[in-house]
């Protein structure tokens, strides 16, 4: 059965930003196993890490695929609005420089650094500079399932939501395609935060036995994933029987308490959401962008 939404009532708002500077967090950092490293991390224009790629194996940590962006406004509420209003799957247009007029998609938002990640085709990335600016046609916050008001939905464009492949199953439960099912005890940095409409929280992948038992090594940037016994309706907390669905938005990290970042998409209590394993449950694969883009 198809799922009815309130997409016609969603507000569309223009938000605008630029390229976020690349950061160096410290001369050296210490991983959870005591390893010392000095690696690239957040920010800038990343040419070779894309939605659809593995979240693991990079000589970097918390790597953000594509273009990392932030609001050009110094006002904190304006900066928060840039992250809040822009939803994964929204269209974005370059409005300056050699790539002016080129279009791409919003991937997701990263907490702590308050970055929004944008995907563009390779030929557009090659034209961009760190001075360029982007206009996003934001829509998605306020999306609801009309027949299932107990399900909270955040941070996703209605077109992407409809192409994702959700369906109503037995007993009115919502079957949700995901690539990985994460046990609730494996969630780290970000638990307790109220900011489910901005930012993310991390999946801990430092215990090899847990990674193997739950297939966490399959995690790709852009993957839809389910976290069991986590309730993200009004903040991020543990609650037995709840399920939270999210999307992977940054790479793994060796830092204690950190790992691949997951942005909240859906959450409900009392076993309302049923994750269904599907290796094609990836935003980039669904939209044909990132690593799944047609070669030009």
CA distance linking residue 110 with residue 251, whole number of Å: 11
Write phi, then psi, for 135 (nearest 5 degrees): -115, 125
| Pairing status of strand 133-138 against strand 224-231 | unpaired
Nearest to 198 by CA among 7, 3, 15, 4: 15
Nearest to 154 by CA among 169, 144, 165: 144
Task: Write down the pLDDT at residue 98.
Answer: 97
Does residue 8 have a pLDDT over 70?
yes
Does residue 77 have a pLDDT over 90?
no
Does residue 1 have a pLDDT over 60?
no
CA distance linking residue 67 with residue 86, whole number of Å: 14
Copy the structure tokens of residue 207.
């215990």
| Cross-strand bridge partners of residue 203 | 187
Q: Which CATH superfamily includes the segment(s) 152-287?
A: tm1086 (SG structure) domain (2.102.30.10)
Over residues 248-268, mean pLDDT: 97
| Residue keyed to tokens 């224009």 | 45
Copy the structure tokens of residue 6.
């309130």
| DSSP count for the chain of H helices, then E strands | 5, 18
Copy the structure tokens of residue 213.
């038992």
CATH fold, domain 11-138, is Thrombin, subunit H (2.40.10)
User: How many other β-carbons are positioned within 10 Å of the β-carbon of residue 169?
Assistant: 13
- 36: DSSP letter: E
Instruction: Decide: 273 and 168 in contact? Cβ < 8 Å.
Output: no
pTM of the predicted protein model: 0.95
Q: Where are the domains of the chain?
A: 11-138, 152-287
Over residues 263-282, mean pLDDT: 96
C-alpha pair distances (Å), 5 with each of 19, 69, 102, 159: 33, 30, 30, 11
């Amino acid at each position: 059965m198809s799922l009815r939404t309130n997409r016609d009532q969603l507000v569309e708002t223009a938000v605008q930003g630029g390229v976020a500077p690349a950061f160096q967090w410290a001369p050296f950092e210490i991983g959870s196993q005591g390893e010392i490293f000095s690696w690239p991390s957040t920010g800038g224009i990343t040419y070779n890490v894309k939605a659809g790629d593995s979240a693991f194996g990079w000589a970097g940590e918390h790597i953000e695929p594509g273009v990392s962006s932030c609001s050009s406004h110094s006002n904190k509420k304006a900066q928060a609005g840039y992250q809040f209003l822009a939803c994964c799957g929204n269209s974005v247009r370059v409005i300056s420089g050699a790539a002016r007029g080129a279009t791409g998609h919003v991937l997701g938002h990263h907490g702590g650094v308050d970055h929004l990640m944008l995907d563009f085709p390779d030929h557009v990335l090659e034209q961009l500079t760190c001075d360029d600016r982007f206009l996003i046609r934001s829509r998605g916050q306020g999306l609801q399932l009309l027949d299932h008001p107990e399900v909270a939905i955040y941070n996703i464009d209605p077109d992407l939501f409809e192409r994702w492949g959700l369906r109503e199953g037995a007993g009115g439960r919502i079957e949700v395609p995901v690539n990985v099912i994460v046990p609730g005890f494996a969630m780290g940095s970000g638990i307790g935060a109220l900011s489910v409409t901005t930012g993310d929280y991390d999946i801990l992948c430092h215990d090899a036995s847990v990674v193997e038992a739950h297939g966490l090594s399959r995690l790709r940037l852009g993957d839809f994933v389910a976290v069991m016994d986590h309730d993200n309706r009004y903040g991020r907390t543990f609650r037995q029987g709840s399920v939270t669905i999210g999307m992977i938005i940054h790479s793994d990290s060796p830092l204690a308490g950190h790992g691949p970042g997951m942005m909240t998409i859906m959450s409900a209590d009392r076993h309302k959401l049923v994750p269904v394993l599907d290796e094609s449950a990836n935003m980039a694969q669904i939209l044909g962008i990132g690593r799944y883009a047609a070669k030009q």
